[in-house]
Amino acid sequence: MCGIFVSCGSNVSFSNHEQLSKLLYHRGPDNQTNLRINDKLIFGHTRLSIIDLNNISNQPFRDEHSIIIFNGLIYNYLEIKKKLTKFYNFKTQSDTEVISAAYSVWKKDCFKYLNGMFSIVIYDLKTKEIIVARDRLGIKPLYYRQFGGNLYLSSEIKPLLKLGNYRQDFQAIYNYFQYSFYEDVDQTFFEEVKQFQPNHYYVIKNNKISSKKCYWDLKKKLLRLLKI
């Protein structure tokens, strides 16, 4: 379990970002790093070391194509790594670098190759886009909130509530008690906090979500298996 916290906007504060990211330190006791990428973007990551304990695999992880922060585990990373060895010069044994290599080769199509549980945030050094993806079934969480003209991303809701006042989403609460729905689509129990949907990737431009796309569809997979 690792922690992700991102501050994105024209008036983000590094000190405020640091204070909020500290609320996720329990998720990653092995390393905590906050990186100011530019005047409008700060990546924060707390790492629980599972694969490749070397410090070279700490995050944010950067290569010539992108900067990546990642929470989770890619089950088939060795198989993907084998496919990419002729295209990418690997320097670590981590699954994080495999994501980085996959993005450098396949770009946004890379997510359909990943079998695992993950929340991923990628900053493309060429296009200046932020790409966000969650795993197929939404095992690993990732939330966001617009506040003060900025966009904040977090592995947990608590830091996002610290940004300012918030209201409970009573429809989400009703759905929980009436239908046993625990958060629905992008809703949470708080009106101001949303979650990134599973099996989708999002593109963030100008501090706002500009597009999203489904990269894996369970219904289509089942229909194909059943040959309907």
pLDDT tens figures, 3-33:
999 999 999 999 999 999 999 999 999 999 9
H or E stretch covering 43 = strand 41-47
Q: Is the separation of the CB atoms in 27 and 2 below 8 Å?
A: yes
Domain ranges of the chain: 3-226
Rounded CA-CA distance 195/154 in Å is 9
Percent of residues in the chain assigned helix, strand, coil, to nearest 5: 30, 30, 40
Give the per-residue pLDDT at 198: 95
Give the list of residues 6+ apart from residue 11 with CB closer than 8 angstroms, or none.
Answer: 148, 149, 150
**CATH 3.40.50.360 fits domain 3-226:** no
Axis crossing angle, helix 95-106 with helix 77-84, rounded to the nearest 10: 50
The CB density around residue 122, as the number of other CB atoms within 10 Å, is 24
DSSP-derived 3-state class of residue 215: coil
What does residue 118 show for φ and ψ, rounded to 5 degrees? -160, 155
Measured CA to CA, the distance from residue 183 to residue 159 in angstroms comes to: 18
The DSSP call for residue 113 is G
More confident call, 127 vs 179: 127
**pLDDT for residue 183:** 63
Helix (H) or strand (E) holding 211: strand 208-214
pLDDT score for 154: 98
**SS3 call for 50:** coil
Q: What is the DSSP letter of 207?
A: T
Average pLDDT over residues 91-109: 97
What pLDDT, in 10s, does the model give residues 183-225?
667 899 999 999 999 999 999 998 899 999 999 987 777 777 7
Cα Rg, the chain, nearest whole Å? 18
Rounded to two decimals, the pTM is: 0.93
Helix segments in 41-195, DSSP class H: 77-84, 95-106, 158-161, 170-179
Between CA 160 and CA 104 the distance in angstroms is 31
Q: What is the mean pLDDT of residues 41-61?
A: 93
Tell me which residues are annotated as active site.
Answer: 2
